[in-house]
């Protein structure tokens, strides 16, 4: 069966954004991909297939410059991609939301929950990486960004180099969350591999500490890597989403 192409969301203030929206019962699951990722990743597709079988509403999409969306990746910043997500949520989705964010998408999920506190009923982070512009860059990296305006590095997750622009880094620094209380009160579940080479598992513990919500659970997968996309990892994600939805 050939998948239908995604729909393009037109707006007056930016590139058209590719999305796939499935109607159903709420809360609507909103999947937020990681850096240089898109809505066709294995976790997003598995969760969408589960949602379809359950009759659960779900939205997945690509940030501007990523996947099937229009625009240039190098023009994107943390704030602009947050605003992409908010534009789609505000225009397409009615009622409460369950945010599921992977890596950078976990950071964006937290920012969206702060921006729409009355709508976000729950949040699941998968190797959530808030503040990675702070703890994920060496002094040498920061110096190179300041002088060259960008860093290009090889990545094990694809053929294209991993590109970080000065504008993205500055946007990340302006939206750090771990220095104080994260004023989110909804239930939060954090899935984190302890063999993650990109996000130290202690970050999940710091996020849990900073969240104002009293309903926070951190689930550590001892042999889990950054992607958490093995069959067992995806089963854990779906079980976590199922239990959270059942509790709402």
β strands within the chain, DSSP E: 7-9, 17-22, 25-32, 56-61, 97-102, 120-126, 150-153, 162-165, 188-193, 216-221
pLDDT of residue 85: 98
Is residue 178 exposed (0-12), middle (13-18) or buried (19+ Cβ within 10 Å)?
A: middle
Over residues 59-69, mean pLDDT: 97
- Percentage of the chain modeled with pLDDT above 90: 91
Spatial separation of the C-alpha atoms in residues 113 and 117, rounded to whole Å? 5
CATH class of 7-247: alpha beta
pLDDT > 60? residue 1: no
Reply yes or no on whether the pLDDT at 238 is more than 80.
yes
For the annotated catalytic residues, the residue numbers are 103, 196, 226
Q: What is the pLDDT of residue 141?
A: 92
Q: Alpha-carbon distance 89 to 101, whole Å?
A: 14
As a whole-number percent, the residues of the chain with pLDDT over 70 amount to 97
């Amino acid at each position: 069966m050939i998948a239908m192409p995604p729909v393009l969301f037109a707006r007056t203030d930016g590139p058209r954004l590719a999305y796939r929206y499935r109607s159903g019962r709420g809360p609507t699951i909103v999947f937020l991909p990681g850096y240089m990722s898109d809505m066709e990743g294995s976790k997003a597709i598995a969760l969408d297939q589960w949602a379809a079988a359950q009759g659960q509403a779900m939205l997945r999409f690509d940030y501007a410059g990523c996947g099937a969306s229009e625009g240039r990746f190098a023009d994107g910043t943390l704030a602009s991609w947050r605003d992409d997500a908010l534009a789609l949520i505000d225009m397409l989705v009615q009622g409460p939301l369950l945010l599921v964010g992977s890596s950078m998408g976990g950071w964006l999920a937290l920012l969206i929950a702060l921006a729409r506190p009355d709508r976000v009923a729950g949040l699941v982070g998968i190797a959530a990486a808030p503040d990675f512009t702070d703890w994920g860059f060496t002094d040498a990296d920061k110096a190179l960004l300041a002088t060259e305006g960008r860093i290009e590095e090889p990545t094990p997750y694809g053929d294209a180099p991993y590109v970080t622009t000065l504008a993205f880094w500055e946007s990340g620094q302006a939206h750090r969350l771990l220095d104080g209380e994260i004023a989110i009160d909804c239930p939060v579940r954090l899935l984190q591999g302890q063999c993650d080479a990109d996000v130290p598992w202690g970050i999940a513990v710091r996020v849990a500490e900073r969240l104002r919500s009293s309903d926070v659970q951190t689930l550590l997968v001892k042999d889990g890597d950054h992607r958490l996309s093995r069959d067992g990892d995806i089963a854990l994600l779906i079980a976590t989403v199922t239990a959270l939805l059942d509790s709402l």
